[in-house]
Amino acid sequence: MLHVKDVSITFNEGTPDEKKALQRINLELKEGDFVTVIGSNGAGKSTLMNIISGNLVPDVGEVIIAEKNVTSLPEFKRSAYIGRVFQDPMAGTAPSMTIEENLAMAYSRIRKRNLKPGVTKLRKAEFKEHLKTLNLGLEDRLNAKVGLLSGGERQALSLLMATFTNPNILLLDEHTAALDPSRAALITKLTKDVVAEHGLTTLMVTHNMQQALDLGNRLIMMDKGQIILDIHGEKKQNLTIEDLLKEFQRIRGEQFESDRAVLG
């Protein structure tokens, strides 16, 4: 479903700030794969996300989604295949517009926008059904401006907007990192449910190792622009944080420097 082929990208090439953000990354996701991505700051996780979403263009390599080479497609065209939830709860919704209007915009992600009303009676009923699955009472607040919602509610709405049109790929970019523990747990649970329900092919970046272990059928660890660990299937189910840290030390031969990763 998603194939990242030999992708490399270097920032600020030829200057003292040169950074090889991704070095010959190869990653293939089968339909229905749910892959969690961990790694310390600067490992290249976000760069990988941005290359898949079309925010960045790789120096070399290809991105193939649903058998289509999308490497040179700009972000807004590629979005037809991709549902995305950002880390910042403010990023995924339009604050001065209402809940139903936001959902209507997400509805148009896979269609050409036209001059018919975005919110119709029929769609309203559909939005309500979808909002009910969140269990946050948002189905009764269709006309509320999204700017009035809490961070957790907004992130739940973003998740719904990214998924209810069944994208080929779902990208989750540390989407629970900015929330308090109870809200984060709620969003994690919603993520699990929605991915299972639609069988979405998902790539999730996280700083939280426990979350990376709990979710998904495959885990990859990145460091210095490379994928250094790729665990799937049964082995992934039995994995512990301890194992991960040991693996990392064995491969890199150094202490896992990120306190944040350990504490997560």
Partner 1 sequence: MALSLFGAVESGIIYAIMALGVYLTFRVLDFPDLTVDGSFVTGAGVAAVSIVSGVPPVLATIFAIIAGFIAGCITGLLHTKGKINALLSGILMMIALYSINLRIMDKPTVSLSSEETLFSQLRGIWPEGIDSFLNNLWNSIGLGRAPATWIIVAFMIVVALAIKFLTDYFLKTEVGLALRATGDNKRMIRSLSANTDNLIILGVGISNAMVALSGALIAQIGGFADVQMGIGMIVIGLASVIIGEALFGKKTIAIATIAVIGGAIVYRIVVTLALRVEFLETGDMKLITAFIVIVALVAPKVLQGQREKKRRLQKRAALVELKEEA
Is residue 80 near partner 1 by the rule CB under 8 A? yes
Show the site string, 113-152: x = touches partner 1 by CB under 8 A, - = not: xxxxxxx---------------------------------
Among 95, 132, 148, 237, which residue sits at the site for partner 1 (rule: CB under 8 A)?
95
CB atoms within 10 A of CB 96: 8
Tokens encoding 233: 């299937």
Is residue 104 near partner 1 by the rule CB under 8 A? yes
Among 79, 168, 217, 258, which residue sits at the site for partner 1 (rule: CB under 8 A)?
79
Q: Are the CB atoms for 124 and 142 separated by under 8 Å?
A: yes
Pick from 132, 185, 195, 123: nearest CA to 159: 195
State how far the Cα of 30 lies from the Cα of 21, in Å rounded to an integer.
25
Q: How far is the CB of 45 from partner 1 (least distance, A)?
A: 18
Tokens encoding 161: 């907007």
Show the site string, 26-65: x = touches partner 1 by CB under 8 A, - = not: ---------------------------x------------
Among 101, 153, 174, 223, which residue sits at the site for partner 1 (rule: CB under 8 A)?
101
HSE, side-chain direction, 13 A CA sphere, residue 26: 1
**C-beta of 36 vs 50, nearer to partner 1:** 50
Backbone φ, ψ for residue 112 (5° rounding): -80, 130
**Using CB under 8 A, which of the segments 2-10, 94-102, 208-216, 254-262 binds partner 1?**
94-102
Q: Are the CB atoms for 212 and 206 separated by under 8 Å?
A: yes
Tokens encoding 17: 């700030």
Residues of this chain that interact with partner 1 (CB under 8 A) are 53, 75-80, 82, 84, 86, 90-97, 101, 104-106, 108-111, 113-119, 161
